[in-house]
Amino acid sequence: MALPLLSLSWSLIVFAALGLVYNLGRVSVEGILQSRVCDSALGRAKGLMHCFAVALGLLIFSITAAVGDRVFPSTIFFSFAVVLLIGVSCLALGVVQQNGES
């Protein structure tokens, strides 16, 4: 099933919205990480987060290669979004709990 072609203006709007949401999420995760980790361990924490993100990407590409054409691409993207939503929610809940203890 092929995606219908959209006009150029709609395509630009969709990509601009995706870029905006992606950057807001990335900045949010960075802010949460910096608020939760002490300054002396911040570099290690960012490195660990980067390694986890690369491993998650490798896992998703591996699953995509294994299932091939049996799964729609939208299903794979949706699964990736769910995993990211769960991860960001866990980070956000940790910040709320940490602020409640202070």
pLDDT band at 102 (very low <50, low <70, confident <90, very high): low
Identify the residue whose tokens are 């990509």.
Answer: 15
Question: Which tens digit of pLDDT belongs to each residue from 40-99?
Answer: 988 998 898 889 888 988 887 888 888 878 888 788 778 878 887 887 777 777 655 666
Domain ranges of the chain: 40-102
Instruction: Give the span between the Cα atoms of 83 and 70, in whole angstroms.
Output: 21
Residue 2 has pLDDT above 60, yes or no: no
Q: Give the SS3 label for residue 97.
A: helix
Instruction: Give the span between the Cα atoms of 76 and 81, in whole angstroms.
Output: 9
Tokens for 72?
A: 């729609």
Distance of CA 12 to the CA centre of its chain: 21
pLDDT band at 1 (very low <50, low <70, confident <90, very high): very low
Tokens for 91?
A: 């980070």
